[in-house]
Amino acid sequence: LAANVSDNLVERVLARDFRAVARLITLIENDDPAAISCLRRLYPHSGRCLSVGITGAPGSGKSTLVEALAGYYRLQEKTVGIIAVDPSSPFTGGAILGDRIRMQARSTDPGVFIRSMANRGQLGGLARATNDVLLALDAAGFDIVLIETVGVGQDEVEIARTAAVTLVLVVPGMGDDIQAMKAGVMEIGDIFVINKADRPGVDKVESELEAYLALNHRPDRWRAPVVRTVASSGEGVEECARAIAEYEAFLRQLPPHDDRKLQIARDRLLELTQMQLLRQLLAASGAAGAIDELAAKVAGRELDPFSAAEQLVQLACGSGKTVKE
């Protein structure tokens, strides 16, 4: 993109032009270097939105809760950005995901922007891309950004963590005992939501959650609350929003050099550095061939992956071998 084109894109994103926001997100997904130059200029305009990650087992009601929360915030005249991320389906390009977030009711509302993401770019890191998209929506002036993660696993945990506040959904009577929940998912919950509280087994799941929380103290001393919701009817959604606001207030009073903030900044810095190193490597002459060749050697056990990676790093950082973009 020519500089004036990305200038124009930045201006339009700042004016919350939905088409420009969508275009920037596509650039981010494609690891286009133009995305970085836009994001760099958008950064000073960011830092105001409230981001909420919503994770939980398939079918636990994440999309329904996202929609209910969006409705709640819209009544307060707040603008809402919704990102649905599916790390498990890199090939569908979010088409199926689009169906999974049934938010027709909101799709005509100019105060709500909805986007699904499933593409893992060449440079990897869907969590990194989600972070970038969050920055774009933040700079575009959305008051609230809701991030629904689909699928289960480490990727999902990392994506949910890109938000300031993470909700973990649990449902009664699905036999998924708290103890058996995926390691990592429980730890990231700033707020636990027992959704489908209209179903039997609510008390059981709540006492299991409370028992877990009583044993697991967080270093920041935040005591994660447990909220009951019936997302499909809107019951408990206000309490859920209140818990979100309380956690946000807790975060706000943390000093700028709080361990958690430093850790987040550090993770983000390393992630971006990793991406730039990869970008440099890919721009190096002969890199594509070298990657395939080394991969074949590693696959055939002729070469160990450690030495292969070292050779690629040398190619990326090596003297005079890189081509300027």
| Binding interface with ligand GTP (CB under 6 A) | 56, 58-64, 100, 150, 195-196, 198-199, 230-232
What's the CA gap between 82 and 65, in Å, rounded? Answer: 12
Give the interface segment with Mg ion, choosing from 99-107, 232-240, 296-304, 315-323 (CB under 5 A): 99-107
6 binds, among Mg ion, ligand GTP, none (CB under 5 to 8 A by kind): none
Which residue of 16, 27, 38, 100 would you call a contact of Mg ion, by CB under 5 A? 100
Sheet holding 191-194, edge to edge: 112-117, 80-85, 144-149, 50-56, 165-170, 191-194, 226-228
Residue among 279, 290, 186, 244 nearest 50 (CA): 244
Q: Which is nearer to ligand GTP, 53 or 61 (CB)?
A: 61
DSSP code at position 182: P
Is residue 63 at the binding interface for Mg ion, with CB under 5 A as the rule?
A: yes
Residue type, 84: A
Question: Is residue 167 a contact partner of residue 139, using CB atoms and an 8 Å limit?
Answer: no
Residue among 300, 309, 288 nearest 122 (CA): 288
Question: Is residue 55 a contact partner of residue 185, using CB atoms and an 8 Å limit?
Answer: yes
Least distance CB 275 / ligand GTP (angstroms): 28
Least distance CB 139 / ligand GTP (angstroms): 27
Q: Which residue reads 């730890």 in tokens?
A: 187
20 binds, among Mg ion, ligand GTP, none (CB under 5 to 8 A by kind): none
Provide the token pair at 216.
């697991």
58 binds, among ligand GTP, Mg ion, none (CB under 5 to 8 A by kind): ligand GTP
Least distance CB 191 / ligand GTP (angstroms): 16
Least distance CB 89 / Mg ion (angstroms): 12
Question: Is residue 194 a contact partner of residue 205, using CB atoms and an 8 Å limit?
Answer: yes
Least distance CB 77 / ligand GTP (angstroms): 25
Give contact residues for Mg ion (rule: CB under 5 A): 62-63, 100
